[in-house]
A and B are shown apart, each in its own frame.
Chain A
């Protein structure tokens, strides 16, 4: 993903290890003084081989593996996997299970968006908002812990249902927690839309037009801030979203301010939805019997993660293991926009533009690319070269 990479220029590397990045990724910005004239991205520093690992485990074991694809939106991955496997097995989880899945997904969205707001504020040098946002995020984590027993990997899903029920006491504590969060989010909305100093860093920065967003394939809140109507919860409802419809939040401006507003408005929408689900939780079993062997076939599932569209493809061959599992996370779709939008902006805006898409590197890395410099230009190493390099390296070490 190179854009105008003139040689022999002053390049500022952001990454693989850099205070602006919470995960490894390499962004090279060519600067002319403070103005960015070129940008490139390189990924693969956190490749873990999850897809391959999934092929070696059976359907149930995979549930635990898939939950660990992402450390922030763990539930949505497990949900996508469960829906895909259920689709293969041609069964449907009971309505109460679907409602609980949706509820946890929305709680997760609240925690993810609050986390994002804190990180973005930190990139802008507004640490007070960062600290407060993360303090209030703890409330959601507590709710999730009370509900599932875990703060991060909730492990709420089972193939064919969910693991726990929501009782009256739990529903009450969630309602109270949501009141607190709603109050705080209203305050943050006031801050990010009215604080003049903060607006100087977000208004008109990293503007992505609707046409650009469509060409670059942006997803999630990043796309919705550019007025692209792309929210799978509304356009292709899954789980319980058809019984509890969500309203799509759109903004026409496409800058960082719009992304803040879209995400904060989505928080209110999530809070409303959770309350609605709690009030009208359908009565039914929590699980449905799942066959050990899943019939052969292919399944595709698309879900709306907090960051955008998550895509799962599963191919079963009739055994107790998947033959192929493909995961595509939203970050990879949005990264392209960072490289394009950063050009012409100041270096100081680059971390903000990067944070604006809410990047999550570990979950999107699907390959490692090893390049070496030969004759002044970079090229990818082949498997043979890489092997030879390893042999030479250890031979030199043993000398």
Chain B
């Protein structure tokens, strides 16, 4: 029985196919809602699927001057990182498939893998827009990563464990958004930074650097990176809502809480102007880190 369960966990649920579909649906929700807030009509529900299929079917152009192995290899690694992270988080409200003491750190680093891969992919090409985009991607990684990590460790400290399963079980009985509001804000905004959503989309600001680090990607590579980002959206939303919004103990709670969180994020996307990269760094190190440290200080005192 065990090998079959492992295969299901890896390929169908919670990781694998289920997550890919869920990710694209969440991406559609994000796009549609943003469109409605911006007085547009927005895509139909199958648009992200159609985009992905179209890109997968297309030729992948490998530009001159790149390391072809790295160019082709990075997108799958990024997607694999995001999918692996899903094995340790309570997707769809069920207990994590795997878990060990301290897996929270592993999950957070697996989620950063996507950003790292995109940075590498950008620096791999000779394209100027990619190079600037990659620099910005990595700069942004270094600015939001520490505050986001600290914000995710807040619930871990409250639960007294660094295992995602244990923290989730603890959070089901405690709405940590009430006891750690500052940490929640940093985690939410940090997630937006991680997903390079507006206003943190300087790394792919298309009025300046076309498409940032992924400018040279087409076809399969682009589709894979996009899938990786879709998966990361779901995993990130799951983590934040499981930790801060009173847990996700069943599928219904999971869907409602993650979508509510996404709703807030879409609202912020519609309201805010893109930050320049120096403003992003300033924001995180001046306010983000400070907020989270204040939160920790309160927790230690209280």
Contacts and interface: CB of A to CB of B under 8 A. Distances in A.
A128 B201 contact: no
B278 interface: yes
Interface residues of A, number: 33
Contacts of B128: 10-13
Contacts of B207: 19-20, 122-123, 125, 351
B271 A128 contact: yes
A353 B272 CA distance: 20
A125 B273 contact: yes
B82 to A, nearest CB: 25
Q: How large is the interface on B (under 10, 10 to 19, 20 to 34, 35 or more residues)?
A: 20 to 34
Interface in A168-211: 195, 197-198, 200-201
A13 B37 CA distance: 33
Nearest to B37: A128
Interface in B231-251: none
Interface string B260-302: 0000000000111111111100000000000000000000000
Given A10-B128, A198-B273, A125 B210 contact: no
Interface string B189-206: 000000000110110011
Interface in B199-241: 199, 201-202, 205-210
B272 A351 contact: no
Contacts of B277: 34, 346, 348
A128 B195 CA distance: 20
A20 B199 contact: no
Query: Which among B37, B132, B199 has the greatest number of chain A C-beta atoms within 10 A?
Result: B132
B202 A128 contact: no
Given A197-B272, A197-B273, A346 B37 contact: no
B208 A350 contact: yes
A346 B271 contact: no
Most buried by A among B39, B207, B275, B278: B207
Interface in A201-259: 201
Contact of A12 (B132, B198, B201): B132
A73 B138 CA distance: 43
B273 A346 contact: no
B276 A349 contact: yes
Contact of A346 (B38, B129, B274, B278): B278
B273 A19 contact: no
Interface string B30-66: 0000000111100000000000000000000000000
Interface string A102-128: 000000000000000000011111111
Interface string A333-375: 0000000000000111111000000000000000000000000
Contact of B274 (A11, A125, A135): A125
B278 A126 contact: no
Contacts of B40: 131
A126 B198 CA distance: 9
Nearest to A20: B207
A5 interface: no
Contacts of B208: 14, 20, 347-348, 350-351
A379 interface: no
Given A197-B271, A348-B276, 8 more contacts: A12-B132, A19-B207, A124-B273, A125-B274, A131-B40, A346-B277, A347-B132, A347-B209
Interface of B: 37-40, 128-129, 132, 135, 198-199, 201-202, 205-210, 270-279
25 contacts: A11-B128, A12-B128, A12-B209, A19-B210, A20-B206, A31-B132, A34-B278, A121-B273, A122-B207, A125-B199, A125-B201, A125-B273, A125-B274, A127-B38, A128-B37, A128-B270, A128-B271, A131-B38, A131-B40, A132-B39, A197-B275, A198-B273, A347-B208, A348-B208, A351-B208
Q: Which 9 A-B pairs have the closest CB atoms?
A: A125-B274, A20-B207, A126-B273, A348-B276, A197-B273, A131-B38, A19-B206, A198-B273, A351-B207
